[in-house]
Amino acid sequence: MGLLVQKYGGTSVATVKRIQAVAEKVARFRQQGHDMVIVVSAMSGETNRLVALAKEIQDNPDPREMDVLLSTGEQVTISLLCMALKMQGCDARSYTGGQVCILTDDAHTKARIKSIDEQRIRADIDKGRIVVVAGFQGTDSNGNITTLGRGGSDTTGVALAAALKADECQIYTDVDGVYTTDPRIVPTASRLDKVTFEEMLEMASLGSKVLQIRAVEFAGKYNVPLRVLHSFQDGPGTLITLNDEECSTMEQPIVSSIAIHCDEAKVTIKGIPDVPGVASKVLSPISDANIEIDVIVQNISADNTTDLTFTVNRSDMAKAQSVINGVSAELGAKDVLTDDSVVKVSIVGVGMRSHAGVASTMFKALAKENINIQMITTSEIKISVIIEERYAELAVRSLHSAFNLDG
Ligand code: ASP
Ligand code: MG
């Protein structure tokens, strides 16, 4: 028995029937004696619907008004869930983010939580009430409604769990945990019992969409035990923990998962002078244009000129290309090439830290399938390669089996 913060995503509250099923589930936890704080998303599809309405009026909707609009989705589900909980005989109260003092900065549509005053929630818990809080929203110091970015209800859940020092933050969703890779690509992919925050952060940034990346960062920073579970199937889910050792026991594999990021595009600027300051001249205008750069590779110099290649999100490629065309004239570059049919495939695992030969196993597996590696990047706990898009699934499958992850 203890205090649980449970977050239910949009698919889990998509219909009245499902809201009633969530209420039954929450009521069972309450009957077992747990104190319960529930965070919900909007009904699935609702936030997209609201975004579309706004865009019918303004191409770039006013951010402040956008937040007023988007925050309504979650206000629907908190009230309906409380009504359903009352039908289960539970005392329950719903609150918007502002009402429970989730204070954020004023960066509309992507605000960050600054503090939470948990007094009001505590007072309700002490009276035996279940508290239901709208995810994804707060207010800034002037009382304006703010939202936390798409998928932000995960972050609300984690932040409330941190503020209330909950025993666990449970994220209920439409999958039963975090998998060794995307089961749609590899049917033998299996659920992981545990992953570390570090691994989860890599996986989230490499394309695994189970959790909002900010929520994982937040949970790691405040050491909130986080668990991903299926809303309507029983099972232990996946625990995301701070403890490296817990995860890298003897039986634990060196590589715990294979991630794939599909929306990559490659930009190459050829024949630029190999002198100090050139990388900055090429890449600064890219970041000034608010384009995120991922993998960067520079060739060794031939005739004092070199080539620089980097990847960006596919949706930013055209913008990146026009920025680079601009600097290319200035630098006297020979050519600018782009390729929007590449993907990034990565192996992730804290076990890599203490094992040699992981890279060679990876490269051998790809070579065996005749897959050409275009770029490579590594960190302590991951190795990523950029390859041609048409080999994406083959690469994931062969790496999954090369690192013995097949169920
Ligand atoms: N409803 C918001 C969204 O769709 C927040 C969330 O679901 O986490 O992004
Ligand atoms: Mg969601």
Give nearest CA residue, ligand 1 atom 6. 151
Give the model confidence (pLDDT) of 118-162 as tens digits: 999 999 999 999 999 999 999 999 999 999 999 999 999 999 999
pLDDT surpassing 70 at residue 246: no
Q: What is the pLDDT of residue 140?
A: 98
Nearest in space to 291 (alpha carbons), one of 324, 313, 262: 313
Q: Contact 362/325 with Cβ under 8 angstroms?
A: no
Q: What is the pLDDT of residue 37?
A: 98
Of the candidate CATH numbers 3.40.1160.10, 3.10.20.30, 3.30.70.260, 3.30.40.10, the domain formed by 3-174 belongs to 3.40.1160.10
The pick from 102, 136, 169 for probing ligand 1's pocket by mutation, whose C-beta has the most ligand atoms within 8 angstroms, reads 136
pLDDT surpassing 70 at residue 248: no
Say how many Å lie between the CA of residue 394 and the centre of ligand 2: 29
- CA distance to 111, 166, 194, 398, per residue, from 214 (Å): 11, 19, 19, 31
Query: Tokens at residue 108, please?
Result: 């509309």
Phi and psi for 178 in degrees, rounded to 5?
-95, 135
Give nearest CA residue, ligand 1 atom 8. 151
Give the model confidence (pLDDT) of 20-54 as tens digits: 999 999 999 999 999 999 999 999 999 999 999 99
pLDDT surpassing 80 at residue 263: yes
pLDDT surpassing 70 at residue 247: no
pLDDT surpassing 60 at residue 357: yes
pLDDT surpassing 70 at residue 235: yes
Q: What is the pLDDT of residue 209?
A: 73
Higher pLDDT pick, 294 / 57:
57
Say how many Å lie between the CA of residue 275 and the centre of ligand 1: 47
Higher pLDDT pick, 359 / 206:
359
Q: What is the pLDDT of residue 118?
A: 93
Q: What is the pLDDT of residue 202?
A: 87
pLDDT surpassing 80 at residue 16: yes
Higher pLDDT pick, 58 / 241:
58
Residue-range domain boundaries for the chain: 3-174
Q: How many CA atoms lie within 13 A of 170 on its CB side?
A: 22
Q: What is the pLDDT of residue 210?
A: 80
Q: What is the pLDDT of residue 368?
A: 97
User: How much is the average pLDDT of 208-213?
Assistant: 80
pLDDT band at 207 (very low <50, low <70, confident <90, very high): low
Query: Tokens at residue 69, please?
Result: 């609009």
pLDDT surpassing 80 at residue 206: no
Say how many Å lie between the CA of residue 137 and the centre of ligand 2: 13
Q: What is the pLDDT of residue 211?
A: 85
pLDDT surpassing 70 at residue 193: yes
- CA distance to 15, 42, 213, 380, per residue, from 45 (Å): 11, 8, 21, 38
Can you give the pTM of this predicted structure? Answer: 0.85
Report the mean per-residue pLDDT for the chain.
93
Q: What is the pLDDT of residue 249?
A: 52
| Per-residue 3-state assignment (H helix, E strand, C coil) for the chain | CCEEEEEECHHHHCCHHHHHHHHHHHHHHHHCCCEEEEEECCCCCHHHHHHHHHHHHCCCCCHHHHHHHHCHHHHHHHHHHHHHHHHCCCCEEEECCHHHCEEECCCCCCCCEEEECCHHHHHHHHCCCEEEEECCEEECCCCCEEECCCCCHHHHHHHHHHHHCCCEEEEEECCCCCECCCCCCCCCCCECCEEEHHHHHHHHHCCCCCCCHHHHHHHHHCCCCEEEEECCCCCCCEEEECCHHHHCCCCCCCCCEEEEEEEEEEEEEEEEECCCCHHHHHHHHHHHCCCCEEEEEECCCECCEEEEEEEEEHHHHHHHHHHHHHHHHHHCCCEEEEEEEEEEEEEECHHHHHCCCHHHHHHHHHHHCCCCCCEEEEECCEEEEEEEHHHHHHHHHHHHHHCCCCC
Q: What is the pLDDT of residue 169?
A: 97
Residue 174 labeled ligand binder = yes
Q: Contact 222/170 with Cβ under 8 angstroms?
A: no
The residues that bridge with 387 in the sheet, in sequence order, are 343
Q: Which atom of ligand 1 is nearest to the CA of 153?
A: 8
Say how many Å lie between the CA of residue 75 and the centre of ligand 1: 12
pLDDT surpassing 70 at residue 245: no
Q: What is the pLDDT of residue 112?
A: 94
pLDDT surpassing 60 at residue 250: no
Percentage of the chain exceeding pLDDT 70: 97
The residues that bridge with 347 in the sheet, in sequence order, are 258, 383
Percentage of the chain exceeding pLDDT 90: 83
pLDDT band at 401 (very low <50, low <70, confident <90, very high): very high
What is the Cα–Cα distance from 358 to 348, expressed in whole angstroms?
10
Query: Tokens at residue 185, please?
Result: 């690509």
Q: Contact 99/116 with Cβ under 8 angstroms?
A: no
Residue 214 labeled ligand binder = no
The pick from 7, 41, 172, 218 for probing ligand 1's pocket by mutation, whose C-beta has the most ligand atoms within 8 angstroms, reads 41
Q: What is the pLDDT of residue 397?
A: 96
Q: Which atom of ligand 1 is nearest to the CA of 41?
A: 7
What is the Cα–Cα distance from 268 to 274, expressed in whole angstroms?
15
Give nearest CA residue, ligand 1 atom 9. 150
Count of CB atoms within 10 A of residue 380's CB?
A: 9
Q: What is the pLDDT of residue 323?
A: 94
Higher pLDDT pick, 209 / 73:
73
User: How much is the average pLDDT of 90-103?
Assistant: 98
Q: Which atom of ligand 1 is nearest to the CA of 156?
A: 8
The residues that bridge with 130 in the sheet, in sequence order, are 92
Phi and psi for 368 in degrees, rounded to 5?
-60, -30
pLDDT surpassing 80 at residue 62: yes
Ligand nearest to the CA of 153: 1
Nearest in space to 7 (alpha carbons), one of 171, 225, 218, 215: 171
Say how many Å lie between the CA of residue 9 and the centre of ligand 2: 5
Residues 6+ apart with CB under 8 A from 318: none
